[in-house]
């Protein structure tokens, strides 16, 4: 019986021990599960805290880029303003670099805000405003590059008044305000995550203490927990050492990046200096090409003039007919030289434009013989679409030169053999449909050839001053720059469409001109025919500072039967007019020392409104403003006696409608 009781006691003790072990195991499992859950929560909390801090840093980056973008655009516009004023290419480069930097910052801003629909939409709107602002600033930049100072200033002033400036500022302010709000929210979230992580860490520490206390009761479980904590501490020490090492490595890398950045700055400065030197070399090379082409053409023309005059001098007493033929050849060579000079002056913007209503069809039909002689028999010329009655407001001589220029370039591209097509269209264009042209009615004059064509590299430089693909000595290097200048001065545009081995099409767009009174367009011509007595002998005041030109002009007037009164300056002319009341016409040079021709005529028109005026110019220079010649005839040097006679008649005919009350008594010739 006692044995049975002992066995029962042993079984009870074993059962209690088993229960205690089970309970300890269950408590250990529960504690382990709780500990494992806390570790996962801490890890998750740390990840969320790091993510919140990363989003916070992104907000700071966005704010810095917004400020940098605003600063880059402001610096770019300031540099453009200086470029428009001083025309310095270095200032223009600063504008280009700052504006491109703003574009790169805008692209980076788009990347950073891609995950935020509200900010992304604002960045897209800012991109549109930036592109619009780029277009507005491109116009004054282009004008400034081609030395059109006043036009560039006017366009820059208009750009400064554009609504896009306030629009850009408004978008930037909204971007910054939104991002600051987002930054505040993210900062709050980062703080919440940090607090949550800290709380979890505290709970984890409490669990460690609990596990430590439980270790007194649960031996192996407590010992195991202590070992785990020691391992965790070792890991923390390792991570701390690693963090310190990473900080040292980051510092070293930062110093290396600073050194590399300084080196890049030095290389950039060296590259800028080299690029400036290269541009100067290219400019000198272009000037050399231009000089060689001019010298080549002028030598050919002077050879004709000198050779023909020498032969005429030798044949003068023996064969007058042959001498006359040689003199005509010399005149032809001189006229070609004068035409080349006018082309050069037009390219340099020193040839005054004398616009009038011109029908392109009539003008080009009148050039048929000239085109045939210039291009040769192997070039087939076809014209289309010139029966329309639309007119353009342009200088007819300059338009002829432009079309002839295009035809000669096409001939060279076809190597002297091929088909040339000149056509005209009447178009109604929308705003910005072609270049920077405003909406309206336009006439397009297109010259198409079947030549070798141009690649993209040539097309990008085709309007560049002094650029030419012709060999040295084979051209003046004016290229399409003259055509470009004429179109822009006439409020038009030029486009080029070409590809290698596919020919080229150059199109000139000129705005339609509508005459207020079509019958008045031919008034001067009709009067010139019906009032032939106006070309009778006159007392003509000749104002010319060059002695040889003055002597030649006086001789030509005497040959026509007029009575010239020569003088050398504008002040002398005013003194003569005070004493001579019989002067019927004043012929004056344009560019003279002291008082220019337009300045003289400005005073004469006020004091003696009855006097007819004829400007004679070979180089208008700064006095070449077309408004200075409005209402007066202009005769270009050099000129023949017949041309002088026609110009005198035209100048006199302009005065037939002057009211008698304006005429000074006895002044009419």
What is the C-alpha separation between 422 and 480, in angstroms, rounded?
16
Is residue 1 situated within a structural domain? no
**Band of residue 543 on the pLDDT scale cut at 50, 70, 90:** very high
Q: Based on the domain organization, do 498 and 547 belong to the same domain?
A: no
Answer for the pair 634, 351: CB distance below 8 angstroms, yes or no: no
> From residue 113, how far is each of 118, 132, 243 by CA, in Å?
9, 21, 31
Structure tokens at 339: 């035409």
Could you list the residue range(s) of the whole structural domain that residue 85 is in?
A: 22-217
pLDDT higher than threshold 90 for residue 586 = yes
pLDDT value for 665: 35
DSSP string for residues in 503-563: -EEEEEEEEEE--S-GGGGGHHHHHHHHTGGGGS--EEEEE-S-HHHHHHHHHHHHHTT-E
Domain count, the chain: 4
Structure tokens at 232: 């965790």
Q: Based on the domain organization, do 467 and 334 belong to the same domain?
A: no
Place of tokens 């209402």: 631
pLDDT value for 541: 93
What is the C-alpha separation between 507 and 495, in angstroms, rounded?
5
At 133, which CATH number? 1.20.120.1730
pLDDT per position as a tens digit, 80-126: 888 888 878 888 888 888 888 888 988 988 888 888 888 888 888 88
What is the C-alpha separation between 54 and 190, in angstroms, rounded?
9
Q: Based on the domain organization, do 72 and 205 belong to the same domain?
A: yes
Pick from 192, 202, 195: which is nearest to 38 by CA? 202
Instruction: Give CA torsion, residues 418, 422, 428, 429, to 10 deg.
Output: 50
What is the C-alpha separation between 584 and 604, in angstroms, rounded?
12
pLDDT higher than threshold 90 for residue 314 = no
- The CA R_g of the chain, rounded to the nearest whole Å, is 44
CA 662 and chain centroid, separation: 49
What is the C-alpha separation between 315 and 328, in angstroms, rounded?
14
SS3 per-residue string spanning 197-215: HHHHHHHHHHHHHHHHHHH
What is the C-alpha separation between 339 and 323, in angstroms, rounded?
24
Last-in-domain residue among 480, 514, 548: 514
Place of tokens 């428009």: 84
Is residue 298 situated within a structural domain? no
Answer for the pair 508, 492: CB distance below 8 angstroms, yes or no: yes
Beta partners for residue 613, in sequence order: 586
Structure tokens at 435: 């270049």
pLDDT value for 19: 72
pLDDT higher than threshold 50 for residue 663 = no
pLDDT per position as a tens digit, 206-232: 776 777 677 676 677 768 778 887 888
SS3 per-residue string spanning 96-144: HHHHHHHHHHHHHHHHHCCCCHHHHHHHHHHHHHHHHHHHHHHHHHHHH
Structure tokens at 633: 């005839």
Torsions phi, psi for 428 (to 5 deg) = -120, 115
Q: Based on the domain organization, do 335 and 368 belong to the same domain?
A: no
Torsions phi, psi for 61 (to 5 deg) = -60, -40
Last-in-domain residue among 458, 487, 514: 514
Is residue 99 situated within a structural domain? yes
Answer for the pair 62, 179: CB distance below 8 angstroms, yes or no: yes
The arrangement of strands across the sheet holding 633-636 comes to 563-567, 539-543, 585-589, 612-617, 633-636
What's the rounded mean pLDDT across residues 385-404?
80
Q: Based on the domain organization, do 586 and 656 belong to the same domain?
A: yes
Q: Based on the domain organization, do 536 and 501 belong to the same domain?
A: no
Q: Based on the domain organization, do 480 and 546 belong to the same domain?
A: no
Tell me if residue 455 falls in helix, strand or coil: coil
> From residue 115, how far is each of 82, 110, 568 by CA, in Å?
39, 10, 79
What is the C-alpha separation between 211 and 584, in angstroms, rounded?
124
Tell me if residue 615 falls in helix, strand or coil: strand
Pick from 63, 58, 61: which is nearest to 186 by CA? 58
Is residue 260 situated within a structural domain? no
pLDDT higher than threshold 90 for residue 563 = yes
pLDDT value for 58: 80
Is residue 102 situated within a structural domain? yes
Name the DSSP letter for residue 654. T
pLDDT value for 68: 86
At 565, which CATH number? 3.40.50.2300
What is the C-alpha separation between 451 and 504, in angstroms, rounded?
7
Mean pLDDT score of the chain, rounded to an integer? 77
Sign of the alpha-carbon torsion through 478, 479, 484, 490: positive
At 437, which CATH number? 3.30.565.10
Q: Based on the domain organization, do 343 and 367 belong to the same domain?
A: no
pLDDT higher than threshold 50 for residue 247 = yes
Run of H or E residues at 648: helix 641-653
- Cβ neighbour number for residue 506 with a 10 Å cutoff: 23
pLDDT per position as a tens digit, 249-297: 898 889 889 989 988 888 888 888 887 777 677 666 655 555 655 665 6
Answer for the pair 492, 434: CB distance below 8 angstroms, yes or no: no
Structure tokens at 231: 């391992």
What is the C-alpha separation between 22 and 231, in angstroms, rounded?
27
CA 279 and chain centroid, separation: 18
∠ CA 144-145-150, nearest 5°, is 20
Pick from 333, 339, 656: which is nearest to 482 by CA? 339
Q: Hey, which bits of 133-278 come out as E strands? A: none
What is the C-alpha separation between 81 and 77, in angstroms, rounded?
6
pLDDT per position as a tens digit, 149-178: 787 788 888 877 888 788 888 888 888 888
Q: Based on the domain organization, do 31 and 169 belong to the same domain?
A: yes
Q: Which of 30-34, 405-409, 472-476 has the lowest mean pLDDT?
A: 472-476
What's the rounded mean pLDDT across residues 384-388?
71
Torsions phi, psi for 431 (to 5 deg) = -65, 120
pLDDT value for 566: 94
Is residue 300 situated within a structural domain? no
**Band of residue 591 on the pLDDT scale cut at 50, 70, 90:** confident
pLDDT value for 179: 81
C-alpha neighbours within 13 Å on the C-beta side of residue 188: 5
Structure tokens at 34: 């709780």
Q: Based on the domain organization, do 510 and 533 belong to the same domain?
A: no
Q: Based on the domain organization, do 330 and 189 belong to the same domain?
A: no
Pick from 615, 538, 617: which is nearest to 584 by CA? 538
What's the rounded mean pLDDT across residues 461-477?
59
Sign of the alpha-carbon torsion through 634, 636, 639, 642: negative
Q: Based on the domain organization, do 505 and 556 belong to the same domain?
A: no
Structure tokens at 221: 């479980």
Answer for the pair 526, 656: CB distance below 8 angstroms, yes or no: no
Is residue 10 situated within a structural domain? no
DSSP string for residues in 404-422: HHHHHHHHHHTTT-EEEEE
Last-in-domain residue among 190, 217, 244: 217
What is the C-alpha separation between 160 and 304, in angstroms, rounded?
55
Instruction: Measure the N-to-C terminal CA separation of the chain; round to a whole number of Å.
Output: 170
Is residue 257 situated within a structural domain? no
Place of tokens 């930097």: 101
């Amino acid at each position: 019986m006692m044995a049975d009781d002992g066995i029962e006691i042993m079984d009870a003790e074993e059962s209690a021990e088993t229960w205690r072990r089970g309970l300890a195991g269950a408590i250990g499992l529960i504690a382990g599960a709780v500990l494992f859950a806390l570790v996962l929560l801490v890890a998750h909390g740390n990840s969320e805290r790091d993510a919140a801090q990363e989003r916070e840093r992104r907000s700071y980056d966005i704010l810095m880029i917004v400020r940098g973008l605003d600063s880059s655009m402001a610096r770019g516009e300031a540099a453009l303003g200086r470029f428009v004023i001083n025309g310095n290419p270095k200032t223009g480069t600063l504008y280009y670099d700052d504006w491109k930097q703003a574009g790169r910052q805008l692209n980076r801003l788009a990347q950073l805000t891609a995950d935020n629909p509200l900010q992304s939409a604002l960045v897209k709107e800012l991109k549109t405003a930036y592109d619009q602002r780029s277009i507005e600033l491109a116009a004054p930049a282009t004008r400034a590059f081609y030395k059109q100072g006043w036009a560039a200033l006017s366009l820059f002033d208009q750009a400064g008044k554009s609504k896009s400036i306030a629009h850009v500022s408004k978008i930037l302010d909204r971007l910054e305000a939104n991002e600051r709000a987002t930054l505040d929210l993210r900062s709050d979230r980062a703080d919440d995550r940090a607090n949550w992580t800290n709380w979890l860490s505290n709970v984890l520490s409490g669990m460690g203490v609990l596990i430590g206390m439980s270790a007194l009761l649960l031996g192996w479980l407590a010992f195991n927990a202590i070992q785990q904590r020691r391992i965790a501490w070792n890991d923390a020490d390792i991570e701390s050492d690693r963090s310190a090492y990473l900080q040292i490595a980051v510092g070293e890398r930062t110093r290396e990046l600073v050194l590399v950045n300084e080196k890049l700055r030095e290389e950039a400065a060296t590259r800028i200096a080299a690029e400036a030197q290269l541009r100067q070399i290219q400019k000198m090379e272009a000037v050399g090409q231009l000089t060689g082409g001019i010298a080549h053409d002028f030598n050919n023309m002077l050879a004709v003039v000198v050779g023909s005059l020498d032969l005429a001098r030798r044949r003068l007493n023996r064969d007058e007919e042959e001498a006359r033929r040689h003199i005509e050849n010399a005149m032809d060579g001189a006229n070609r030289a004068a035409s080349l000079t006018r082309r050069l002056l037009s390219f340099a913007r020193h040839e005054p434009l004398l616009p009038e209503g011109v029908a392109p069809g009539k003008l080009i039909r009148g050039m048929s013989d000239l085109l045939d002689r210039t291009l040769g028999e192997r070039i087939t010329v076809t014209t289309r679409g010139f029966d329309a009655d639309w007119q353009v407001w342009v200088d007819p001589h300059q338009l002829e030169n432009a079309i002839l220029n295009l035809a000669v370039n096409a001939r060279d591209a076809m190597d002297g053999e091929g088909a040339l097509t000149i056509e005209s269209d009447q178009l109604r264009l929308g705003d910005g449909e072609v270049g920077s042209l405003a909406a309206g009615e336009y006439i397009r004059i297109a010259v198409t050839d079947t030549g070798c064509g141009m690649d993209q590299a040539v097309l990008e430089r085709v309007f560049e001053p002094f650029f030419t693909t012709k060999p040295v000595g084979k051209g003046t290097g004016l290229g399409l720059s003259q055509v470009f200048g004429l179109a822009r001065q006439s409020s038009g545009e030029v486009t080029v469409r070409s590809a290698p081995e596919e020919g080229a099409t150059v199109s000139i767009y000129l705005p339609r001109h509508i005459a207020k009174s079509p019958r008045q367009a031919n008034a001067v011509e009709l009067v010139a025919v019906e009032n032939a007595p106006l070309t009778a002998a006159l007392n003509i005041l000749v104002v010319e500072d060059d002695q040889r030109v003055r002597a030649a002009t006086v001789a030509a007037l005497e040959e026509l039967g007029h009575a010239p009164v020569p003088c050398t300056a504008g002040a002398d002319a005013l003194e003569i007019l005070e004493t001579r009341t019989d002067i019927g016409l004043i012929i004056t040079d344009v560019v003279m020392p002291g008082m220019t021709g337009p300045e003289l005529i400005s005073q004469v028109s006020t004091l003696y409104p009855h006097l007819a005026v004829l400007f004679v110019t070979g180089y208008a220079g700064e006095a070449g403003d077309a408004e200075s010649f409005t209402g007066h005839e202009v005769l270009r040097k050099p000129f023949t006696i017949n041309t002088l006679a026609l110009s005198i008649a035209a100048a006199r005919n302009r005065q037939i409608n002057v009211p008698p009350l304006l005429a000074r008594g006895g002044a009419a010739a």
